[in-house]
Structure 1
Amino acid sequence: MADKTPSSGPSGHLLPAGEKRLAPASAISSPLGKKVAAKRPDEGAGWSRTLKLAFRFSLREMRGGLSGFLIFLACIALGVAAIGGVNSVARAITAGVANQGQTLLGGDLRFQINQRAATQTEQAFLEELGTISHSANMRSMARLEDGSDQALVEAKAVDGAYPLYGALETEPALSRQDLFGERSGVFGAAAPDLLFERLHLAIGDRLKLGSATFELRARLVSEPDAVSDGFGFAPRLMVSTDGLAASGLIQPGSLVENAYKVRLPGGASEADIKTIQDQAAKDFPEAGWSIRTRSNAAPALSSNIERFSQFLTLVGLTALVVGGVGVANAVRAYLDGKRGVIATFKSLGASGGFVFAVYLVQILMIAGLGIALGLVLGALMPFAASAALYQVIPVPAEGGFYPGALGMAALFGLLVTLAFALLPLGRARDVPATALFREMGFEGRGFPRPVYVAAALGIAFALAALAIQFSGDRRIASIFVGATVFAFLVLRVVGGLVQSAARKSPRVRSTALRLAIGNIHRPGALTPSVVLSLGLGLTLLVTLALIDGNLRRQISGSLPERAPNFFFVDIQSSDVDAFTALVGKEAPAGALVKVPMLRGRVMALNGVDVGKVKVPAEGAWVLRGDRGLTYDTRLPANATLTEGTWWPDNYAGEPLVSFSAEEGKEIGLKLGDTVTVNVLGRNVTARIANFRQVEWETMGINFVMVFSPNTFAGAPHGWLATLTEKNASAADDARLLNAVTRAFPAVTTVRVKDALDIVNRLVAQLGTAIRAAAGVALIASVLVLAGALAAGNRARIHDAVVLKTLGATRKTLIAAFSLEYMLIGLATAIFALAAGGIAAWFVVARIMTLPSNFMPEVAVATIVFALAVTVGIGLAGTWRVLGHKAAPVLRNL
């Protein structure tokens, strides 16, 4: 024992036995027979020496192991792994896109023009840059030779130079001529398994695209530049440019995307590419082409990955904050078990600051272990996710070490630990030795010194600020962080209200219920910790479940009831009357709505290039890519004017445009502003005459911009139509689809139900991923709950022994504890339902502008889950408590 007896060093610093000591100038004898300095340990010597000594004592105390800190370690490791892993995977995908930019783009530069081919001058400019490959993409209907069945396809026509980078993989592998060449008037084609299955085809079978016949000569295995073409709702059908030209699908105004990919001479730098972009913009100001480079091969994919990773980072941070409650519980329970040691320190002259330093060093070392474990798991995620993600995203994740992502996760873990550990450490600092020797714990002592409260609040503020700063969409991040802080504070209030209600409840006859109510509000009760730990995780889960449920209900329920049966695209102006007659014959009870349609790109707002206009994220989509445009003499039936007036029927003045009110306000437009759009290689500037409210959720024909008829006078264009027939059966739809495809092979027909099925599957996959992420927060909640219950076991043992001594049976105690956990779990579930319901309503109704409904099944599942978790974990811990012998406990009371 002698080698473990603390001794005092210079200025009263405690030293491990055996350390060399200098005799202090003034000393008194301690009851242990050692010299104890009259000066306090933190006086005279610097903080460095105090910390050094604290570090040595911390290591000595940790020789007994990490008992009581397993929940602490799990919470920190889980949160750090979630944040570090998600961001590492996102950066791995981004690195994969960057490193394979040429292959994914199909060239060093990609010039895309819609609804027209490049002019001779533009073609000459591109050919001077390097090797050119031309491809054309369009949606159309592929049908069997006998016309008995058809399917929507994403037709892609490629030339002989395709691909400039990467390799086109087919099964069997064929030369370009054998794959796409013409044989006796029949062109070759390749398609993925999906199209073979959908039309029950085999290799060698034929189908028709437009007026041309194609033979399926191979299965399409891998298309190197598929990502840069964007997401498609239909299976690919790859043909040659000669084959697409023979189909007759390309007419003036047809919705075709022409992509010209350029392979620059070897050694071309990013500066060279930037020079080419600037030259193209200068020499062809009205080309209307979008230019992408190898460093930005898949902007939509990169943007979506970034947004999703930001969301998952915030969810991971929520899990870490929930785990912070577990940190606080673990620290408090650990210090409570160290009361004797702390009292001994103080009796031997140690100051409160020294005690604080000893245990702060311990907590930081244990947190460092949890952070390290989380970083290892996070660093392994890119390697584990690479194979799995390739099935969903055709971009290989670059497995590797991403110190930036892991460093951010480590910083969050450290800040959360400090924010939640400072308050219980501060309380321990100021507890007098006499109180500790009297077995008084840290409960009920209120707040520690203001400096500790201020430090904890400052760290929490820094944590929130960093979370917002690291997020690309700071508005969403601010809302998320604000909601988490608000829920945290409200849950503290809810815990207090539950205790207050229990305290003021009338006396009941049932002994078990009376004990349960007393346990809820007694000093040191578990109520605040349980409500706080489980409440945050349940609230997040309820919010996401309600959002997911409402989206599913819209897609599979009310949305199809309001949506049209069919969309018909690319109806030629010369065929509009004949098309109308055919649809009227096949679906006499249906309502056909048709409008002219062009594609155009917004080039400038009030004369300022859109690339230089700062637009909020929620409205930026209007300025990205091409938009559908139309003109009309009258206000559309499904829209309402909110500002301004509509133009007269025979208007012939300057071009005018009606803008969607919500999107216009998000962009910052007002009446009288000008919008410049490029249509068919010509810039057209129109003045905003009015704003109108658009009901996007009806899925009818809606446009962001509707122009006055004189704006596009003489421009070739197609027509867009919808057919709505509520009582039509699946057989009626199939008959109409077949008739339209036979009579008008160039018309693209989209059955809305099929499109909604695809969207529903995507939402389901996304919902599964989001719920899995929310599950991380919920797992943290359950861990914290288990830690909170374990932390209260000492008091439970005393209570159980005393009650058993006074005659209580094990059955009575189990019933009392079960009722206590049940009441706390029920209160937590009710709060989670209310808070989660409000949050989900805000997202669905205000952000998504969709009808929001509260779903009873989510409420029932939440309540059942909360009760099962609280009662189950509570009883699991209580069972050990009830097994303690009375004698050892009574001796220490």
Structure 2
Amino acid sequence: MRGGLSGFYIFLACIALGVAAIAGVNSVSRSITGAIESQGRELLAGDIRFELTNRLASAEERRFLESYGTVSLTTGLRSMARLPDGSNQALVELKAVDGAYPLYGRFESAPDVPLADLLAERDGAFGAVVAPLLLDRLGLKIGDRLLLGNASLIVTGTVVSEPDAVSDGFGFAPRLIMSQEGLSKTGLVQAGSLVEQAYKLKLADPARLPALRAASEAAFPQAGWSVRTSNNAAPALTANVTRFSQFLTLVGLTALVVGGVGIANSVRAFLDSKRNVIAAFKCLGAPGSLVSLIYLLQILMISVLGIVIGLALGVFIAPLASTALKGVLPVTEGFALYPKALALAALFGLLTALAFAFLPLGAARRVPATALIRDSQATRRRLAPWPYILASSACFLALGAISVLTADDARVAWTFLGAVAGAFVVLRLVGAGVAFLAKRAPRVSSPALRLAIGNIHRPGALTPSVVLSLGLGLALLVTLALIDGNLRRQLTGTLPERAPNFFFVDIQSSELTGFRDLMKREMPEGKLIEVPMLRGRILAFNGQDVSRMTVAPGARWVLRGDRGITYARNLPENSQLVEGNWWPADYTGEPLVSFSEKEARELKLKIGDSVTVNVLGRNITARIANFRTVEWESLSINFVMVFSPNTFAGAPHAWLATIIDPKATPAQEAQTLNAITRAFPTITSVRVKDALDIVNTLVAQLATAIRAAAAVALVASVLVLAGALAAGNRARLHDAVVLKTLGATRATLIRAFVYEYAILGLSTALFSLMAGGVAAWFVVSRIMTLPSSFLPDVAAVTLVAALVLTIGIGLIGTWRVLGRKAAPVLREL
């Protein structure tokens, strides 16, 4: 160790980079989830929340809640805010609050005055506090009026901070906050309207919180309310953060494993440089185990140093990310350490170092002293003894096991690890295939090209190292780029062309005829589809409470909160029956339900099973009559559950409608939106292209994070490539000196090296495109069920990147070799 770290800088960089990525990602994840747990009361604006859909709590239910403490009611729905002259309108996320809001936390507004004063009635209109974005969209300023439903409101301020915004969930439109009294004047809350009533409690005795959920279910078994406590204030956000963190951790682990190739190269080159020392040890009687232990301890010391550097970098990633995310997501403020995240990263780093170091250590042990002294390539031609192979395999298995055990979705972890392992095997075969083809290539007249082809297949060639080191990083980058490109192409190209122009929500039965007539006038070429719409929450399958069931990650969204449901006499036109039978149009028997096939398989349901759903405070049990396919990607009207018409006979409900007219111009769409808002102020209109623009923005933000993580893997690949080329410079030095002695010019040697690196870079790029294309196709077409296509721009960038990296790094490394004088090198041969 007193000899310094020469030869181990690539080793250190590879370990530090991978450990830093894993430590940073997990620290940020724990910062967010920890903040959600510690700030649960503020994020929920209560100790516990009871949410009802489409109805208020009964007097008896309200008295029950008030017996536990102070109750605050907030009402959430979407609606259209419009200018008094009817010239413009915008979708808003409406939230009506009472005088007790918020029970915890602080609502901040501009101007900073009490919320009750801002929402009070003045000059015959109630006040409203809005998001600044709404002012920009409608060209309003504080003091102006706007219309909402049948009421006129005065904009009295803008929202700065809303304590329970995270627990309320993501909104596609700007926030508008008003009082419960003001909401009653709008006429928006009608029978069947999509309205969420949230009762938030500040308990007089917090110790009663654990028993309150059970007590509410016992007292009101058919209330159908969704209950959430402050220790789980934002379950959807927590789940998404955990899932995204898992994905980025796996990408970081890939970077670490890619760096493992660099670790193996560094160890091999280091042991090669120590061949005379090892020979002396063996000649003096040192057993192979002592030699291996000496260098294993040294490698462990250097590994620990790299891990410490990586952990230090990872520790500072969390506060930097927290600063960037503040105001967007709940984060832990200030500097904080997350021991579990750091320990996981350190363990990954140590196991990776050992897994890739054992094999070259074992190979060095096996070579006799005479071979070490006489043959500098001997260490590369011998396999390690079986105990070293077994130890390396155990480390790889431990890496995989820890990845799976710490993952939120084990299937994703298994798939990811299998893909990486498969890529390693294929890359080895690609390297061997390139060498095989080069060996059997026809003789060419160009001396430089002939020399380059020979360098590709000769003993000790760089081919396997270059293909393996660069291939995996490029393949990962191609995969993510193609997924991102296809997804954004769908959102901005083909999907808007196939999707409806508008969704219309909360159409009352009394408005249906007039709505149809107006749409026929405004968009005569459009196809109008309308279905009855209710909201319900799944409580049980076959009598078993779903909250106590273990559900596959892909179907958890079905059971999370309320779902839109409908009834139909005939099979919906965008569905296909795959199992079971559809009920007759005049069916009057027991309640039946048609379930989406994919979600039913995830939930392990079968034909004949029963589903209990709470709708409007009533528990309804229906038998599954059939499974059908659902084209979610079409953005048409789709439901997980479609019931037989007799199930909801007499139940109040609204209607949901879409209009599809691919030929409609933006001006015609704007005119239609204005006409609907004027004629039916309580109908909510959602322009699909506007919603897709918001989703596209979110996808772009996520893609930035994913590309940053993938860039870590690519940087690791570049480091490994540089290390592999540096390790081969000793042999290159001998070759260059001999060839120059025989009359080769520097220009000839440079051309030979450029040809060699270009062939290797092109081979690696072609593999990366093929492997990344297959992986992206699987994710897009099989998991996302979207059309997948190969993007030429991604192919072009990959080819250029591979050629620039291999040729550039190769020439940088060999330029110094070409400048060495011949005499000192010839004396060593």
Residue number among 507, 528, 548 corresponding to 2:464 in the alignment: 528
The match for 2:760 is 824
Alignment counterpart, residue 572 of structure 1, candidates 505, 508, 511:
508
Indicate conservation of the 8 Å contact 2:366/2:382, yes or no: no
Name the amino acid aligned to 1:307: R
CA distance 1:859–1:497, shift in 2 (3 Å):
same
1:484-522 residue CA offsets vs partner (Å, 9 max, x unmatched): 011011111111111111111111111111111111111
Alpha-carbon distance, 1:692 to partner: 1.0
- Cα distance in 1, alignment partners of residues 521 and 375 from structure 2: 91
**Cα deviations across residues 200-223 of structure 1 (Å, max 9, x unaligned)?**
111101101101111011111000
Match of 1:220 among 159, 183, 201: 159
Output the amino acid matched with 2:222. E
Amino acid at match of 1:579: F
Q: Post-superposition shift, 1:697? A: 1.4
Q: Aligned AA for 2:620? A: V
Q: 1:155 aligns with which of 76, 84, 94?
A: 94
Matches of 1:165 and 1:411 in 2, distance apart?
A: 40
Quote how far apart the aligned CAs of 1:191 are: 0.8
Identify the residue that residue 646 of structure 1 maps to in structure 2.
Answer: 582
Q: 2: CA distance between counterparts of 1:891 and 1:563?
A: 76
Deviation of residue 392 (structure 1)? 3.3
Deviation by residue 1:349-397 (Cα, 9 ceiling, x = unmatched): 1111111111111111011100000011111222111110114325445
> What do residues 315-361 of structure 1 show as CA deviations (whole Å, max 9, x unaligned)?
00000000000000000111111111111111111111111111111
| Secondary structure, counterpart of 1:822 in structure 2 | helix
Provide the residue aligned with 2:383 in structure 1: 447
Distance 1:514 1:356 in 2: 40
What is the aligned partner in structure 1 of residue 568 from structure 2? 632
| Cα distance in structure 2, aligned partners of 1:323 and 1:106 | 46
Matched, 1:501 2:441: no
Counterpart residue number, 1:554 = 490
Q: CA deviation at 1:446?
A: 2.9
RMSD (Å) for aligned C-alpha atoms: 1.0
Which structure would you say has the larger Rg?
A: 1
Q: How far apart, in 2, do the equivalents of 1:399 and 1:273 lie?
A: 32
CA distance in 1, matches of 2:112, 2:360: 69
How far apart are the structure 1 equivalents of 2:194 and 2:378? Answer: 73
CA distance in 2, matches of 1:477, 1:363: 29
Q: By how many angstroms is 1:621 displaced?
A: 1.3
Letter in 1 for 2:318: P
For the 8 Å contact 2:531–2:655, the answer to whether it is kept is: yes
Q: Which amino acid aligns with 2:55?
A: R
In structure 2, C-alpha distance between the alignment counterparts of 1:672 and 1:851, rounded to whole Å = 34
Runs of 4+ in 1 over 4 A off after TM superposition: 394-398
Match of 2:328 in 1: 392
Match of 2:522 in 1: 586
Partner amino acid, structure 1, of 2:755: L
Q: With the length of structure 2 as denominator, give the TM-score of the two structures.
A: 0.99
* Structure 1 position 548, deviation (Å): 0.6
Whether contact under 8 Å (2:31, 2:331) holds in the other structure is no
CA distance in 1, matches of 2:35, 2:334: 5
CA distance in 1, matches of 2:302, 2:330: 41
Contact 1:332 1:442 in 2 (8 A): no
The answer as to whether partners of 1:535 and 1:832 remain within 8 angstroms in 2 is yes
Structure 2 CA distance for aligned equivalents of residues 177 and 357 of structure 1: 74
Partner of 1:710 in structure 2? 646
Mapped to 1, the partners of 2:600 and 2:289 lie a distance apart of 59
Contact 1:658–1:689 (8 Å) recurs in 2: yes
1:248 corresponds in structure 2 to 187
1:205 to 144, 169, 173: 144
Quote the Cα distance in structure 1 between the aligned partners of 2:793 and 2:540. Answer: 49
Can you list the C-alpha shifts for 1:435-490, whole angstroms capped at 9, x where unaligned?
Answer: 22224334442311111111111111111111111111001000000110110111
**Deviations, residues 580-637 of structure 1 (Å, cap 9, x unaligned):** 1111111111111100000000011011111122221112211111110001111111
1:833 aligns with 2:757: no
Partner amino acid, structure 2, of 1:281: E
How big is the shift at 1:265? 2.1
Q: Shift in Å at residue 571 of structure 1?
A: 0.3
Letter matched to residue 692 of structure 1: R
Amino acid corresponding to residue 875 of structure 1 in structure 2: L
**Equivalent position of 1:15 in the other structure:** none
* Distance in 2, Cα, partners of 1:177 & 1:639: 49
Residue 414 of structure 1, aligned match among 342, 350, 354: 350
Correspondence for 1:179 among 118, 124, 146:
118
Matching residue of 1:696: 632
Are the counterparts in 2 of residues 659 and 690 from structure 1 also a CA contact under 8 Å? yes
The 3-state SS of whatever aligns with 2:370 is helix
- Is residue 189 from structure 1 mapped to residue 128 from structure 2 by the alignment? yes
Instruction: Give the letter for the 1:245 counterpart.
Output: S
Letter in structure 2 aligned against 1:705: M
1:622 aligns with 2:561: no
Match of 1:423 among 359, 364, 374: 359
Contact persistence 1:564–1:725 (CA under 8 A): yes
- Would you say the 8 A contact 1:113–1:259 is kept in 2? yes
Deviation at 1:739, TM superposition (A): 0.5
Q: Distance in 2 between matches of 1:357 and 1:394?
A: 48
C-alpha distance in 1 between matches for 2:235 and 2:116: 33
* Preserved contact between residue 443 and residue 524 of structure 1 (Cα < 8 Å): no
Partner in structure 1 of residue 66 of structure 2: 127
Per the TM alignment, residue 284 of structure 1 is displaced from its structure 2 partner at its CA by 1.0
**2-structure distance, mates of 1:363, 1:396:** 37
The answer to whether the aligner puts 1:845 opposite 2:781 as a matched pair is yes
CA contact (8 A) 2:18 2:256 kept: yes
CA distance in 2, matches of 1:361, 1:614: 46
1:638: Cα distance to partner?
A: 1.1
1:390–1:396 contact (8 Å) kept in structure 2: no
Q: Distance in 1 between the 2:146 and 2:467 partners?
A: 63
Taking the aligned partners of 1:446 and 1:561, their CA distance within structure 2 comes to 61
In the aligned structure 1, how far is the partner of 2:270 from the partner of 2:585? Answer: 81
Deviation digits for residues 529-555 of structure 1, max 9, x if unmatched? Answer: 111111110111011111111101111
CA distance in 1, matches of 2:330, 2:130: 17
Amino acid at match of 2:25: V
Equivalent pair of 1:382/1:398 in contact (CA under 8 Å): no
In the alignment, the residues of structure 2 paired with residue 698 and residue 96 of structure 1 have an alpha-carbon distance, to the nearest angstrom, of 37
Whether contact under 8 Å (2:74, 2:197) holds in the other structure is yes
Structure 2 partner of 1:878: 814
Query: 1:871, 1:740 → 2: CA distance?
Result: 62
1:247-396 mapped onto 2 (5 Å cutoff): 247-265=186-204, 268-269=206-207, 272-396=208-332
SS at match of 2:121: coil
In structure 2, the residue matched to 1:858 is: 794
Give the aligned residue type for 2:27.
Answer: S
CA distance in 1, matches of 2:328, 2:738: 60
Q: 2: distance between equivalents of 1:530 and 1:623?
A: 49
Residue identity matched to 1:860: A
Whole-angstrom CA distance in 2 between matches of 1:391 and 1:776: 27
Give the deviation of 1:656 after TM superposition: 0.6
In structure 2, how many angstroms separate the alpha carbons of the residues matched to 1:73 and 1:395?
A: 31
Q: How does 1:34-73 map to 2 (within 5 A)?
A: 62-73=1-12
SS in 1 for 2:106: coil
Instruction: Work out the CA distance in 2 between the residues paired with 1:235 and 1:394.
Output: 19
Equivalent residue, structure 1, for 2:454: 518
State the SS of the aligned residue for 1:63: coil
- Which residue does the alignment assign to 1:7? none
Rounded to whole Å, the distance in 1 between the matches of 2:602 and 2:359 is 44
What is the deviation of 1:802?
0.5
SS in 1 for 2:698: helix
8 Å contact kept, 2:367–2:382: no
Q: Encode CA deviations 1:15-69: one digit per residue, 9 max, x unaligned.
A: xxxxxxxxxxxxxxxxxxxxxxxxxxxxxxxxxxxxxxxxxxxxxxx21210111
- Mean Cα displacement is larger for which, 147-156 or 660-669? 660-669
Is contact 1:386–1:399 with CA below 8 Å preserved after alignment?
A: no
Matched position secondary structure for 1:630: strand
